[in-house]
Amino acid sequence: MRPIPSLLTATLALGLAACSSGEDAPAGGTSASAAGASAAGASASEPAASAQQVGKLTSYAAAFSEVVDPDARVEKLTGDEFTWSEGPTWVREGGYLLFNDVPQNRMYRWSQADGLSVFLEPSGYAGPPLEELREAGANGLYTEAGGGVLLADSGSRLVARLDPSAKSRSTLADRYEGKRFNSPNDVVARGDGTVFFTDPPYGLKDGDDSPVKEQPVNGVYRIDADGSVHLLDGSLSKPNGIAFSPDGNTLYVANSDPERPIWMAYTLDPAGNVIGSRQFADASDLMGDDAPGLPDGVAVSSEGLLFATGPGGVLVFAPDGRRLGRIETGSAIANVAFGDDGRTLYMTSHRFLARVPLKVTGLGFQG
């Protein structure tokens, strides 16, 4: 997610263009065309044998030292290759990370052995240019237990499943009650395989005012095995990152609105219906021009800790919502994913990819 420029606050004043196309590329950086030229040579990018150390760790509670070693290195794994990097997911069969550069409509592959390469282009919308689109590319990714990769295709305005070996995809849903989605942003599957996703308007050129926006809300949705789509919540202004608790009973959703930078927690019944909701955490006190970023991507550890991108970096929350610490790269971080053996946190950090070793294990890596 990159917030629409008209909604930018001082938090993004360091030149972050939020979710925009090439003409809205972040100030002080390369244009969309220059970023594309850089990416064209990305296949030769070296793995991080001598990765640059960046950022820092900020502790808010003693328990943070049990999550990440105070002396752990935050490493920059690539050059400033991207316009806006997003949606990382670890593909265990093959041992590599996939992530997107949404404005450039390009999906990347990274591994320690092979470095960086273009994996799929276009990653999202593949038709002729459309005036109404701000971002043509795919956004959030999520690797399912069976090896398929769920894809929130912002540009095509749908949710799909990608077969990473064949690089083929199949649409799971593109409408609710006969109306097209806005621009699906992030996606996750529960343990039973049910798919959940968020649908803010970031991919549309005029956001909520877009003449092609058909949905009256910016929703959180569920897709059942029979293909039926269900709206779970239409009250959030900018629903974004999405993740599950270890038991699959709580769904976490980030709201990337500078006026209401919060995370919600929804209690679900076995069918996936919402039976309760509460505000999980609020980052309003962290907003400032020294803390770029908004609530965006979320990942959960096997212990139930939330790693949630927000102002200043990745905020680490205890399951009860207590703020434990922050992992910083020096720039806004859009999204996160666990990788390797589950004890590495990968971060799509604006123009580059970063990582940090952890003491805890990501959900899904225990077996």
In a domain, 350, yes or no: no
**Domains of the chain: total:** 1
* Two tokens, residue 118: 């273009």
Cis previous bond, 3, omega within 30: no
Is residue 302 exposed (0-12), middle (13-18) or buried (19+ Cβ within 10 Å)? middle
In a domain, 258, yes or no: yes
3-state secondary structure of 32: helix
Judged against a pLDDT cut of 50, whether residue 2 lies above it is answered with: yes
In a domain, 96, yes or no: yes
pLDDT of residue 23: 34
In a domain, 74, yes or no: no
Judged against a pLDDT cut of 70, whether residue 40 lies above it is answered with: no
In a domain, 90, yes or no: yes
Judged against a pLDDT cut of 70, whether residue 290 lies above it is answered with: yes
- Angle among Cα 288, 292, 293 to the nearest 5 degrees reads 110
Is residue 223 exposed (0-12), middle (13-18) or buried (19+ Cβ within 10 Å)? buried
CA distances from 170 to 22, 162, 200, 296 (A): 28, 7, 22, 26
CATH number at residue 195: 2.120.10.30
- When computed from its CA atoms, the radius of gyration of the chain, rounded to whole angstroms, is 18
Q: 60-104 pLDDT, tens per residue?
A: 999 999 999 999 999 999 999 999 999 999 999 999 999 999 999
In a domain, 37, yes or no: yes
pTM: 0.88
364: how many CB neighbours lie within 10 A of its CB? 18
In a domain, 118, yes or no: yes
In a domain, 329, yes or no: no
158: how many CB neighbours lie within 10 A of its CB? 23
| Stretch 202-231: mean pLDDT | 97
Task: Show the domain range for 299.
Answer: 5-52+81-323
